[in-house]
Amino acid sequence: MYDFNGLRIYFKDEHLHTTFTNERVFSYVDIEECARRGLKIVPRDMTWHLDGSCDVHDLYHPWESLPSSFTGIAFKLYQASGFREQPCIELKASPAKITQGHNVFGSESLELGVRSVFQALVSALPNFAHMLDFDTAEFFRIDSTFSIKLPNSDCLASALDSLSRVSNRYLRPSRDGDYETTIYFNKVRGEAGRNTGRSSSLCIYSKLDEVLHQLDELREKAKKEKTSRYDSVISALESESLQYFATNRLRFESRICARFFERHQLPTRVIDLLEFVRGYESENGKGSFCRFLWQTAMKDLLDAISGQVITVVHDSKVKKLLHSLYDTIDKNGKLRTAKTVRLFGFYRRLCTEGYAKVKRTMGTTGKSSFYNAVNDLLAAGFSKAQLQNLDKKETLPLVHLLEFDFNAQRPADYVEPVMPLAALDYREFLAVMSGSAAMQDEALTLDRRLAISLEGFGLPASYVEGLKAGRSIRLTGERSLSLALWEDGEFDLVESVAENELQCIRDKLEFRRLSRDSALSVEDAQSEMAYLGFNPASRYSYKSNVQGVK
């Protein structure tokens, strides 16, 4: 699943002001205008006068949270500086959290997360959103996550302990995190280096611990702020089925940063990367693009654990057994667990010190207690040979424990979140986001959709009426562009080699439309169209960069 999207959107040219300083050109946006359109702007400094008035200096936009259906979206405006060559905004969000209230499991659709973030931004700040050029949006970080269900909490603890000692090439583990059950690899400190520097960083942690910690924090916030704004998220995290799915689940998270895109020749512009992903997932045959990111970032770690072993511990199983046999209820109805606690402590001593040493150190006076405890453990089902060899550690190759099932990353009843404005393709969706139209599917008229499609050919909207009247647009000496309009209101723009071949092209398009609803695979349909000589409009193809993902 995609667990995090870091997005950057630049401003439209008409909202930029340019200056020339130290032989360099700098652009900035009018931050007071942004404030008038809804941004929370604050000054870094203020000057007070004797008459009680004041002047504010150095206005800036601090990080704020945009509302969504569930959790918030971190949002900040930056003026041009450093590696940000143009004024922009940055958005940080978990696609799973904003669409379903949690990130225990989620979607492998990159476009779903992008659309959800953009729609939340436009809904929260519609006037400010008109200043943004959504077509320039780019990724600066993507988190790809997969998890594995372990047999019990002891296996999970042993796996984390073993992984904390793994190092390979540039990988260096660190426990410097928020939770004891979290391990970082190549953790970059500081806000500035969090999304840059290394091409990726890795994080491995117990998912249930994170869920419970987040649940406690939200309950405390709701109580302190006396608000119901967190109720939907709390309700989602309190779900018994959700917590059951997270129990004993070890999460492996790869954080893909800017240098990863450069190294693997991947586009960072959102519209280009989404086109690349569609091509990769439809033609590559190796699973989702999300899985490719994860496997590529995790390769060195997965290679390193091939020789690792873990110590097999059965503490939780033994404790549960002893509680079932030796817990009692007194005459007042109170549960008594003292005997179970003593027996489990004795069992742990046998594991760490060994049978002979425990017997020797308990001495003559404690010998009866020793044999009483041994007899109780024998009655619980242990053999004497087992008790005498508990200090002989049982080991298991770590690679046998960490077997990832990519088809079991979500529960059987999982329902994919609804794609915002699913009836529109991505370019049409961007037109709605950047325009003043309401966000419904019917917001785009035929004329507007034609104008958007013509932009892909570098043609102005003035050609729309001519296309609707049945006239073709001459592109080059022998190439022209024609409109095929269908009864259901859909259309296709078709390149033809001559005006008299328009009917032939329409016949080919009819075949293409039929193939969409048939059992033909994408490859078969493309082969048939190539045989007929159909030349589709050029788009960004994942094949242009396929050498970067081998």
| CA 316 distance to own-chain centroid | 33
* Average pLDDT over every residue of 198-211: 86
Distance CA 291, CA 306 (A): 20
pLDDT of residue 537: 42
Query: Using CA atoms in the order 462, 463, 465, 469, what is the torsion angle rounded to 10 degrees?
Result: 160
Residue 80's pLDDT band, with cuts at 50, 70 and 90, is confident
Q: Amino acid identity of 159?
A: A
Least confident of 177-186, 258-267, 422-431: 177-186
Question: Cβ of 306: how many Cβ atoms within 10 Å?
Answer: 9
Distance CA 364, CA 350 (A): 18
Residue 544, pLDDT above cutoff 50: no
Distance CA 59, CA 44 (A): 6
pLDDT of residue 504: 63
pLDDT of residue 164: 82
Residue 532, pLDDT above cutoff 50: no
Distance CA 255, CA 4 (A): 8
Distance CA 156, CA 302 (A): 17
CB 63 within 8 A of CB 76: yes
Residue 104's pLDDT band, with cuts at 50, 70 and 90, is very high
Residue 497, pLDDT above cutoff 70: no
Distance CA 459, CA 78 (A): 33
Say what the pTM is: 0.68
Residue 402, pLDDT above cutoff 90: no
Convert the pLDDT of each residue in 212-230 to its tens digit. 998 999 999 889 888 888 8
Higher pLDDT, 315 or 233: 233
CB 285 within 8 A of CB 136: no
* Average pLDDT over every residue of 86-113: 93
Higher pLDDT, 321 or 145: 145
Residue 197, pLDDT above cutoff 50: no
Beta strands in 372-502 (DSSP E): 395-397, 473-474, 480-485, 491-496
Parallel, antiparallel or unpaired: strands 64-66 and 24-29? unpaired
Phi, psi of 400 (to 5 degrees): -75, -30
Question: Cβ of 46: how many Cβ atoms within 10 Å?
Answer: 11
Residue 309's pLDDT band, with cuts at 50, 70 and 90, is low
**Buried/exposed 270-288: b ≥16 CB within 10 Å, e otherwise:** bbbbbbbbbbbbeeeeeeb
pLDDT of residue 394: 59
Distance CA 257, CA 269 (A): 14
Residue 412, pLDDT above cutoff 80: yes
Greatest CA separation found in the chain? 109
pLDDT of residue 93: 94
**Buried/exposed 515-528: b ≥16 CB within 10 Å, e otherwise:** beeeeeeeeebbee
* Average pLDDT over every residue of 334-351: 87
Owner of token pair 């109720």 = 231
Highest mean pLDDT among 31-40, 78-87, 465-474: 31-40
* Average pLDDT over every residue of 20-33: 82
In whole angstroms, how large is the CA radius of gyration of the chain? Answer: 31
pLDDT of residue 272: 94
pLDDT of residue 541: 41
Convert the pLDDT of each residue in 282-297 to its tens digit. 876 667 899 999 999 9
Convert the pLDDT of each residue in 139-184 to its tens digit. 999 999 999 998 888 888 888 888 887 777 777 777 665 567 888 8
* Average pLDDT over every residue of 56-74: 87
Which of 401, 229, 175, 428 has the alpha carbon at shortest distance from 310?
401
3-state DSSP assignment of residue 167:
coil
